[in-house]
Structure 1
C-alpha cells in the first residue's frame, strides 16, 4: 500500500481541503484556459486526479476530460462521484505511455508533480510531451521548495522548467494559500503555464 492509499483510507486528505478552498480561483484559471482556444477544445488530462475534484471542471469547460491516478480507491471514488463526459484511469503519471491514453491538448497537474523526486518529475515531463498535440498547454500548481521539503514536497522553478524542457514557460503566477494550514501556507505555491514549443 502506498502512502497516498493509506492517507485516503485514514481520511487524511489536506490536498482536497485546499482544492475546495481555492475552487473558485482554479475554476477561473480553467475558464481562462478554455477561452484562449477555439472550439472544440479537444482532450484534457488531469494528472494525479485523486477522487476527481477537478476533472469534472475540465468537462464543464468543454474539454473531453480524462483523469489519471495510481490509487485505485481514489479513482473508483472519482468514477462514482462524477457525471457524464468524464473518464478515469488507474495509472502512473510517471509512466504515461503504458496507460495508452492517446494524445491531449491540455494537461492539468495540481499538486502531483511536486511530490516526486527529480527522475520522476522528468519522467512526467517526458510522458506529457509524448502525449501532447501541437499547441498543447500545461497548467501546473506546485508548492515551492522549503526546508520542510521532506514533509510537504515542493519544487523550485528550475525543477519545473527542467522537467518540461521541450515547452515554453508562458507564465508563473502566485497561487492562493487559503485553506492551507502550517507548514503548507509557508511554501509559496505557484501556477506554471507552459505551451509546447514548435
Structure 2
C-alpha cells in the first residue's frame, strides 16, 4: 500500500473526509444538463469517494464506473446508489494503474473532482498516461482541482501545470473558476475541460 493510500484509508477510518458533502461541480452539471449537454454514454469517475458524481451521472442516463483506491468510501457509495435506485459499477482501483486494473476502457467522459490535485509529481505522470489509455477517441475529460495553498492538507496544482501535463494527448476546450466551490468570494478550485486528441 502506498503512503497516499495509507493516508486516505486512515482519514476515512477516523471519519475525517472534508471533501464529502461538497456540492457537485457546476462544470459537471453544465456538461450533463446545460445547453450544449453531452449525449449520455460511458463515464469514469476518478477518485469517486462516496459516489456523488457517479450517482448524478447515472441518474442522467450515463453508464458509470466509479473508482477509488480505498474500500470504505466505495461501500458507502454502493449503499447510496442503491438508495437512489441507480446502477453504478464501483471498483477499487488506483488511478495511476487504470489500464491494468480491469476498470474498462473507451470511456466517453472521464471526471475527476478532487483527485489529481492531491498527487505527487510521479503519480501525476502515471495518472496522465493512464487516463489517456482508457479514454475513447474524442472523449471529454473534466478536472476540478484546488490551486496550491487554497485547502489545508491538499498540495493543489497550478493551472499551467494542468494544461501542460495534458497538452500532448488532449485539447483544452475551456477552463476557469469552479463556481460551486465559491466560499465568501474566494474560489479555491478551477475546472478544466479537455477533449481527447485523435
Same fold by TM (over 0.5)? Answer: yes
Q: Please give the per-residue CA displacement for 1:111-141, whole angstroms capped at 9, x wherever unaligned.
A: 1000001121121111110111111000100
Gaps of 5+ in 1: none
TM-score (norm 2): 0.84
- 1:65 match: secondary structure: strand
In structure 2, the partner of 1:90 is 92
1:12 is aligned to 16
C-alpha distance in structure 2 between counterparts of 1:24 and 1:195, whole Å:
18
3-state DSSP class of the match of 1:152?
coil
The aligned runs of 1:151-170 (5 Å cut-off) are: 151-164=153-166, 165-170=168-173
Partner deviation per Cα, 1:52-108 (whole Å, 9 max, x = no partner): 121111111221011000001111221122133211000000111121222211000
State the match for 1:130 in structure 2: 133
CA contact (8 A) 2:31 2:38 kept: no
Residue 112 of structure 1 is matched in structure 2 by: 115
Alpha-carbon distance in 2 for matches of 1:65, 1:142: 21
Quick one: distance in 2 between partners of 1:180 and 1:96?
34
TM-superposed deviation, 1:180: 5.8
- Corresponding pairs, count: 189
4+ residue runs of structure 1 moved beyond 6 angstroms?
none
Give matches, 1:15-54, under 5 Å: 15-17=19-21, 19=22, 22-23=23-24, 25=26, 28-32=29-33, 35-38=36-39, 41-54=40-53
CA contact (8 A) 2:44 2:66 kept: yes
Root-mean-square deviation (CA, aligned residues, Å) is: 2.5
C-alpha contact 2:182 2:188 (8 A) present in aligned 1: no
SS at match of 1:125: helix
Give the TM-score, by structure 1 length: 0.84
Question: What SS does structure 2 have at the residue aligned with 1:102?
Answer: coil
Cα offset, 1:28, TM superposition: 2.3
